[in-house]
A and B are shown apart, each in its own frame.
Chain A
Amino acid sequence: MARERKRPEAGEAELSMTPMIDVVFQLLIYFIVTTKPIDVVTNLDVFRPAPDKSTPKDTPPPNLVRLGVYKDGYTVNESPATLPVLDQALARLAALDANQTIMITVSSFSEHGQLIKALDLCAKNGLKSLSIVSASN
């Protein structure tokens, strides 16, 4: 009795793995081909002064760095600057004090990409305290 039972079980044990491996490889190839690489996303932190505050533009504290983003370019403390110049200026400022506040005034007509470029340079030089003010011009 015992022997007769064992034999058919032993016969089932020879299960062919080939079809399963075929299917698994098919799935593997399918997923490798269809998966798209994902873009690496970063987030740039900013502060935004409350709009109801009295305009800080009128009396800026002496140590405040003013950065302007306009449709046709950038300014550092009111003097026009290109991106490399801006980078140099920010590197110099960061060497003095990385915690100082940078006030970024953004023109309404500028493109968002320009602001991101300026924020990227601030991040590059380790400047963390960035406050964004929107200008209507």
Chain B
Amino acid sequence: MARKRRKPQADAKMDMTPMIDVVFQLIIFFVTTADLQAKSLDTAVRMAMAPNGPVEEVKDPRTVTVDVDKDGKISIMRTPLTENQLLAALVNARNVSGQGTPVVIRGDVTTSHEDIKRVMDLCGKAGLWKLRFAALKEKAS
């Protein structure tokens, strides 16, 4: 009798260590990856509001995002670029992922159109025609 009762008790004890290990692994994974997306964008750029803009369904993984700040400085992934460097980067993007590669221009609200035009002209020069302007649909409170 006594032995029979003990058996289910032996089943009930579970080693928690592997589970905790896995959970911590997951936490560390998400903590380290979550910020990457946000850090690739220039926070100095305050985008204009476009409350009626279409909702982004699936993001094209080939997308090149070009930031243009209010002084007209161009950067990609927070790396400041000269016009020639941008052209080289765009030509490279076209050679690697084709002419249909979308270019998203993240311009500041107060950026002069002159500076946006420069980026658009370089896209044209590089043979990229799919241009999009990034804007804020909803501002997080």
Q: Residues of A with Cβ closer than 8 Å to B?
A: 6, 9-10, 12-13, 15, 17, 20, 24, 27, 31, 36-48, 50-51, 69, 106-113, 115-117, 119-121, 123-124, 132, 134
Q: B55 at interface (Cβ–Cβ under 8 A)?
A: yes
Contact assessment for A39 and B124 in the assembled complex, using a CB-CB cutoff below 8 Å: no
Q: B53 at interface (Cβ–Cβ under 8 A)?
A: yes
A-B contact pairs, 9 of them (CB 8 A): A13-B9, A13-B14, A15-B16, A45-B132, A50-B124, A113-B48, A120-B49, A120-B53, A120-B135
Q: B90 at interface (Cβ–Cβ under 8 A)?
A: no
Take A42-B135, A44-B50 as given contacts and tell me if A6 and B10 are in contact as well, using a CB distance cutoff of 8 Å.
yes
**B109 partner residues in chain A, CB cutoff 8 A:** 111-113, 116
Contact assessment for A37 and B137 in the assembled complex, using a CB-CB cutoff below 8 Å: no
Taken together as a complex, chains A and B put the C-alpha atoms of A42 and B23 apart, in Å, by: 34
**B133 partner residues in chain A, CB cutoff 8 A:** 43-44, 46, 112, 115-116, 119
Q: Residues of B with Cβ closer than 8 Å to A?
A: 6, 9-10, 12-14, 16, 20, 23, 27, 31, 38, 47-56, 68, 104, 107-114, 116-117, 120-121, 123-124, 129-141
Which of A9, A43, A121 has the most chain B CB within a 10 Å cutoff?
A43
Contact assessment for B113 and A134 in the assembled complex, using a CB-CB cutoff below 8 Å: yes
**B6 partner residues in chain A, CB cutoff 8 A:** 6, 10
Contact assessment for A116 and B50 in the assembled complex, using a CB-CB cutoff below 8 Å: yes
The chain A residue with its CB closest to the CB of B13 is: A13
Take A13-B13, A113-B48 as given contacts and tell me if A123 and B53 are in contact as well, using a CB distance cutoff of 8 Å.
yes
Contact assessment for B140 and A37 in the assembled complex, using a CB-CB cutoff below 8 Å: yes
Mostly helix, strand, loop or mixed at chain B's interface?
mixed
Nearest Cβ on chain B to A39's Cβ, whole angstroms: 5
Taken together as a complex, chains A and B put the C-alpha atoms of A12 and B141 apart, in Å, by: 49
Take A42-B56, A48-B129, A123-B50 as given contacts and tell me if A115 and B113 are in contact as well, using a CB distance cutoff of 8 Å.
yes
- B124 interface neighbour in A12, A36, A51, A111, Cβ under 8 Å: A51
Q: A39-B139, A40-B137, A120-B53 are in contact. List 10 more A-B contacts (CB 8 A).
A: A10-B6, A12-B13, A36-B140, A40-B140, A44-B132, A45-B130, A46-B131, A115-B133, A119-B133, A120-B50
**A120 partner residues in chain B, CB cutoff 8 A:** 49-53, 135
**A12 partner residues in chain B, CB cutoff 8 A:** 13
Take A48-B120, A115-B133 as given contacts and tell me if A41 and B13 are in contact as well, using a CB distance cutoff of 8 Å.
no
